[in-house]
Amino acid sequence: MRKYELDDFVGDSEAFLGESFDKKPQCFRQTMAARLDGLPDLEVLDDLLALEIVTAPYFRVTKGGVAIARQAYTRAAGKNTALTEIIVPEKVYQLFRLGATLTWNSLEHILPAVRQVLYPFGQQFAARADAVLFVTPAGYDGFNPHHDSTDSFVIQLAGTKRWRVWETPSPRLGLAGGDSDADLGEPALRVTLHPGDVLYVPHGTPHAAAAEDSISMHLSIGIEGRPWRDHLRTVMDILLAEDEFREVPGLAAGHGEAQAAKRLAELLADLRDRLGQLDPEKMMSRLIRDGQASARPTAAREIERLSAADGIIADSLLGRSPLPVEFGECADSKVAMAVNGHTVTLPAALMTSVRALDAGSLVPAAEIFRGASPQRSVLAAQRLVRLGVLQVAPNGADRAD
């Protein structure tokens, strides 16, 4: 399956992050022109509708920026309490012919190829990304001027679409909502997107779009940024997970209030001390790492990966996986390791081999557990691959000594 990097969308990611990100809209011409294969096309969308697998929460129809009631294009399916709304293709096509825009929400839940598109955004911005597909008939407006609460990366897949984008306001506009042409004035950017073009729109930035002389289809990648207050809450949650704060006080009006207040003062003093001792750089690294982990596609190719572990032999080359691993202190030649929600104990020699692979080198399975027999080393390699610590190198990879 194709893999993407942020450069595929914005060209020079360093320049983009320094000059435009969170500051101003920007259009990137043909950055995705050679990478559209595998992404949704009109044939795929027709197939999805024909299969009737897309339920109402994932799909909506709008006209002139106003949502059309679901009852106009869905029907109930199922029995008794297991009823659900499914999309009726014939009704959708009828509305589309009359100028309605079709929207697929969270398309990454339906198409694996779209899920892969989200990966570089989640890793770069340490936040979950969401993919929404818009299809607008020729000559019709998609949505009236509005602003979103997410940073959006718009990838034009088919047809053309004419965009108007205004200056990014300061302070930012609030939650997603509509805007007035009369109040907005002249757009800062007028641009027509062609297949392969990408448009970046910072959150809170007013914008509007309309299809031109052919059906327009674009994929919008939304990044829901987290304000500082959310990060600070996370820091506090990390600190408050310590045992000292698990004590349950007996609170009752008129009984023991003075003693409870004294204990509260002690705990607040303890919390202040812990905050004062924090290393901001280390904590920021942890917040980024945790955000990236939460944004990573879950269980991607997991059954395939586990099958690869079953087939490991002595000559199989192994390398480190991208999953973060935390090692504890060494005691009695054993080391605790936390990875992928599991905590296991490893021999120190095996831990040393795993750490040596962080530089990107590869090692045969028979040599991963130094000092052990090849058979035992292969068994250890299989276990580490199943846990997600190691991964089997692709065919043709060379050992790096």
CATH number at residue 11: 2.60.120.650
- Is residue 297 in some structural domain? no
Asked if residues 117 and 4 have their Cβ atoms less than 8 Å apart, the reply is yes
**Which residue segment(s) compose the domain that 265 sits in?**
228-248+259-291
Does 23 share its domain with 109? yes
Which residues on adjacent β-strands are paired with residue 2? none
Does 67 share its domain with 183? yes
- Is residue 243 in some structural domain? yes
From 323, 296, 300, select the one nearest 385 (Cα to Cα). Answer: 323
Residue by residue, pLDDT tens for the chain (401 residues) are 678 999 999 999 999 999 999 999 999 999 999 999 889 998 988 988 888 777 788 899 999 888 999 999 998 877 665 567 889 999 999 999 999 999 999 999 888 889 889 999 999 999 889 999 999 999 887 778 889 989 999 999 999 999 999 999 888 766 667 777 778 889 999 999 999 999 999 999 999 999 988 999 999 999 987 888 989 999 999 999 888 888 888 887 778 888 889 999 999 999 999 999 999 999 999 898 888 877 766 545 677 777 888 899 999 999 998 888 888 888 888 888 888 778 888 898 888 888 888 778 899 999 999 889 999 999 999 999 988 889 998 775 666 55
Q: Write the burial class of residue 193 (CB in 10 Å: 0-12 exposed, 13-18 middle, 19+ buried).
A: buried
DSSP 55: B
Query: How confident is the model at residue 296, as a pLDDT?
Result: 65
- Is residue 400 in some structural domain? no
Does 159 share its domain with 138? yes
- Is residue 397 in some structural domain? no
- Is residue 401 in some structural domain? no
Within a 10 A sphere around the Cβ of 344, how many other Cβ atoms? 13
- Is residue 253 in some structural domain? no
Query: How confident is the model at residue 299, as a pLDDT?
Result: 46
- Rounded to an integer, what distance in angstroms lies between the CA atom of residue 381 and that of residue 389? 9
Domain count, the chain: 3
Does 98 share its domain with 83? yes
Does 17 share its domain with 129? yes
Q: Across the beta sheet with 59-63, what order do the strands follow?
A: 26-28, 198-201, 151-158, 216-223, 129-136, 101-104, 59-63, 66-67
Query: How confident is the model at residue 82, as a pLDDT?
Result: 57
- Measured between alpha carbons, how far is residue 200 from residues 61, 89, 104, 117, 151 in Å? 24, 32, 20, 15, 8
Does 196 share its domain with 47? yes
- Rounded to an integer, what distance in angstroms lies between the CA atom of residue 64 and that of residue 357? 56
Does 212 share its domain with 282? no
- Is residue 83 in some structural domain? yes
- Is residue 254 in some structural domain? no
Does 286 share its domain with 328? no
Does 34 share its domain with 79? yes
Does 243 share its domain with 170? no
Does 163 share its domain with 26? yes
Does 323 share its domain with 275? no
